[in-house]
C-alpha cells in the first residue's frame, strides 16, 4: 500500500450516472487487476473505495457510479485537481488458474475491474469471452473498449433494450469456458455461483472503515477462515465462499 496525491487528468460521464476518471500519480503499489484504491473526498470522513479499472506506470483509470454524496462530489473534480489516494489495496485476481478460455462476467459498476484483467489475460494469449450485464441500453459502457482489447463481447440488458435480453447467467448457457471471473451486485454473484460449470473467482464489496486491514470493519466468514474484504479480498475463490454470512 502507498499513499499519494494524484492529479485528475480527465473526468467524463460515460452514461447518466457512471463516470470515467483518469489520474496521474505513483501507481507502483498496484500489483494485480481487481485491486482497489481508497479515495479521500474533501468534506467526507471516510475514504471511498473504487476498483482499479486500468493503470500504467504513472496513470490510473477509475470508473465509478454516482450513488451518494461522496461519488457526487467526485464527479465534480476537474482536470488539475489533486486527490489523496491509498493505492495497492486488496489481493486482486489470480490469473494463474484461468486456463485457455476464461469467461469474464461483469454487472453494472462491477464491469470496471474486469477491464485490466481482460487486458492482462489477453496479453497472456488466452481466448476471452466477456459478458457485460446492464439494466437498460442507457446504462451500457465499455462495450467497445473490451472489443478493442480483442475479447468476444456479449452484452445483456434486463429489459431487452440492447443485446441479449436477460441476465449475464442467461448468456452463460452453452458457452464453453475453462474458468471465470465475476464482479457485480451480490444477487448477480449468487446467480453466477449457481449457474457456473467451472471454478472461478468473485469480487466482493463491503462497507469499509480503513480499507487496509486495520479496523476489522469488513470481515466475512469463508471456508478457509475469517477474511477481511479489504485485505485478503475483495477477490474470493468460488470454493471458499460461504453465502449465508455475506452481506
Binding residues vs ligand FAD (CB under 6 A): 36, 46, 48-51, 63-65, 67-71, 109, 112, 205-208, 234
Which of 4, 99, 166, 213 contacts ligand FES by CB under 6 A? Answer: 213
**DSSP 8-state assignment for residue 239:** G
User: Counting contacts by CB under 8 A, is residue 214 touching other proteins?
Assistant: yes
Closest to 135 measured CA to CA, from 152, 154, 155: 155
Say whether 56 sits in a helix, a strand or coil: coil
Which of 67, 123, 215, 223 contacts ligand FES by CB under 6 A? Answer: 215
Which of 217, 221, 238, 240 contacts ligand FES by CB under 6 A? Answer: 217
Which is nearer to ligand FAD, 142 or 177 (by Cβ)? 142
110-to-3, 5, 122, 215, 225 alpha-carbon distances in Å: 24, 25, 19, 25, 25
Rounded Cα distance between 176 and 29, Å, is: 35
* Smallest separation (angstroms) from ligand FAD to the CB of 161: 21
Site string (202-221) toward ligand FMN, x via CB under 6 A: -------x-----x-x----
Which is nearer to other proteins, 31 or 124 (by Cβ)? 31
Cell of 229: 474484504
Point out which residues pair with 8 in neighbouring strands: 23
Which of 4, 9, 26, 40 contacts other proteins by CB under 8 A? Answer: 40
User: Counting contacts by CB under 6 A, is residue 214 touching ligand FES?
Assistant: yes
What count of Cα atoms within 13 Å lies in the side-chain half-sphere of residue 167?
Answer: 10
User: Counting contacts by CB under 6 A, is residue 216 touching ligand FES?
Assistant: yes
115: phi then psi, degrees, rounded to nearest 5: -65, -50
Rounded Cα distance between 199 and 179, Å, is: 6
1 binds, among ligand FES, ligand FAD, other proteins, none (CB under 5 to 8 A by kind): other proteins
Burial degree of 173 (CB within 10 A; 0-12, 13-18, 19+): exposed
Say whether 45 sits in a helix, a strand or coil: coil
247 binds, among ligand FES, ligand FMN, other proteins, none (CB under 5 to 8 A by kind): other proteins
162 binds, among ligand FMN, ligand FES, other proteins, none (CB under 5 to 8 A by kind): none
Rounded Cα distance between 185 and 203, Å, is: 10
Find all residues with CB under 8 Å of 123, minimum gap 6, and list them: none
Interacting residues with ligand FMN (CB under 6 A): 209, 215, 217
Interacting residues with other proteins (CB under 8 A): 1, 3, 40, 44-47, 86, 206-210, 212-221, 226, 245, 247
Interacting residues with ligand FES (CB under 6 A): 208-211, 213-218, 228, 230
Amino acid at each position: 500500500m502507498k499513499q499519494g496525491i494524484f492529479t485528475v487528468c480527465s473526468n467524463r460521464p460515460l452514461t447518466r450516472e457512471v463516470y470515467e476518471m483518469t489520474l496521474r500519480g505513483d501507481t507502483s503499489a498496484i500489483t494485480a487487476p481487481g485491486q482497489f484504491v481508497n479515495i479521500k473526498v474533501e468534506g467526507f470522513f471516510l475514504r471511498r473505495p473504487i476498483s482499479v479499472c486500468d493503470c500504467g506506470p504513472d496513470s490510473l483509470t477509475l470508473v465509478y457510479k454516482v450513488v451518494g454524496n461522496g461519488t457526487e462530489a467526485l464527479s465534480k473534480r476537474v482536470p488539475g485537481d489533486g486527490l489523496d489516494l491509498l493505492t495497492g489495496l486488496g489481493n486482486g485476481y489470480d490469473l494463474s488458474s484461468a486456463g485457455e478460455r476464461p469467461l469474464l462476467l461483469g454487472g453494472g459498476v462491477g464491469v470496471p475491474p474486469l477491464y485490466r484483467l481482460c487486458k492482462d489475460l489477453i496479453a497472456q494469449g488466452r481466448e476471452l469471452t466477456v459478458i457485460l450485464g446492464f439494466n437498460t441500453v442507457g446504462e451500457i459502457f465499455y462495450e467497445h473498449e473490451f472489443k478493442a482489447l480483442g475479447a468476444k463481447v456479449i452484452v445483456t440488458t434486463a429489459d431487452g433494450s440492447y443485446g441479449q435480453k436477460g441476465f449475464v447467467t442467461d448468456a452463460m448457457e452453452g458457452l464453453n469456458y475453462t474458468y471465470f471471473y465475476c464482479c457485480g451486485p451480490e444477487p448477480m454473484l449468487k446467480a453466477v455461483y449457481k449457474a457456473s460449470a467451472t471454478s472461478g473467482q468473485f469480487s466482493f464489496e463491503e462497507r469499509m472503515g480503513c480499507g487496509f486491514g486495520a479496523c476489522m470493519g469488513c470481515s466475512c466468514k469463508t471456508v478457509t477462515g475469517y477474511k477481511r474484504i479489504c485485505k485478503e479480498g475483495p477477490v474470493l475463490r468460488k470454493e471458499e465462499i460461504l453465502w449465508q454470512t455475506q452481506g
